Structure 1
Amino acid sequence: MFTGIVQGIATVTQLERHENFMRLTLELPVAHCNNLQTGASIAVNGTCLTITGFENQQVHFDLIMETLRVTNLGELKPGENVNFERAARFGDEIGGHLLSGHIHSQITLRSKETPTDNCILWFDVMPEFIKYILPKGFVALNGCSLTVGEVSDSGFNVYLIPETLTVTTFGEIQPGDKINLEIDSQTQAVVDTIERYMKHNQPA
């Protein structure tokens, strides 16, 4: 379980690619390397990954075909940065919203506007997911819990504060980049329940 409060930026130091499989090594900031354990979970760009080994700041993960298909992790290159969040613990403050780390899809950054002390990002979203994205609702983008701004038939935007740009990779992204999307599970449950109810209660 994760909160969507990105703890920082990690750097890709090594990639070992095979057919439908990839071994990923990240360098974590030293302040976030305490009590690492093989088998523990870390969200990388919002994707829940299991630690398979570690040495000092170097942390290893195995990515299988479904992870490579659904997320943007398969496109990573050595030297690139990713958002990370270590798994939440009982007693932690939940400053964002509860996340599973199970990515629903990738979406594309349509545009990026940077007025003074602000950043506005517009994303294109496929029709099957836009119904779950509501104004002032929540989404997780590359693991960052964000409040939805405006919503159109084909996309939505978010407004970012300078702190978010500093501690995440959103300060680096450019139009055309693919971003991992996890929709809010409670919103999805409500929308799907209403759709099933309406479908089964239509007049004959």
Structure 2
Amino acid sequence: MPRTGLSAEEIKARATDLALTRMRLLGADKVRLTDVAKELGVSHAALYAHFADKTALLDAVIERWMHEVQQKLAAVASAAGDPAQRMVDWLVTLYQTKRQRALTDPEPHRAFDIASALDKPFVIAHLSSLLDQLAGLFSEAQARFGSDSALNARLIYTATAAFHHPTLIAQTAHTDQEPMLRQIITLTLLGMQSSPAQVG
């Protein structure tokens, strides 16, 4: 145990909390491992045992946020009811979750945008998890949308990209575009029902 009385996992979690707080107050550019270590009550070197550098610490903040999004969407995907309606609810939840983060937590959202542009492994894993959730819904509704659930998931995710891409969300967050998103989802799903996606 470190002298703080915290386990290794608790130190990582607490350091992530502190980094998020400092990111909100000062911006990601001004977060320093030395400051986080001092506030945590451990040496700078001790914090390096958990985070290789500042980038790794900021990545931990973003990864935690993405995990929270995944859990929220998983609850929508696994709810009872018509899978096509759950697709709508899932995409709307994704949009509104990211929109609210852009409005209320702009600094972490900006860091998420940068991480997404760099195609970091944990961002790729996050996207894969989201597509798997959507594919599961298409699999449930296979009779209406055809058998290639993974392709259908990629199609509708791409068709609605303007409503969940972090850069675009930041640019439009002050206007609630949910009504437009619902119309686009409805039209896309109608088209996919009449002409199921084919591998090509």
TM-score of the superposed pair, with normalisation by structure 2:
0.22
Q: Which has the higher contact order (CA 8 A, sep 6+)?
A: 1
The structure whose residues are more often strand, as a share, is 1
The structure whose residues are more often helix, as a share, is 2
Larger Rg computed on CA atoms? 2
TM-score of the superposed pair, with normalisation by structure 1:
0.21
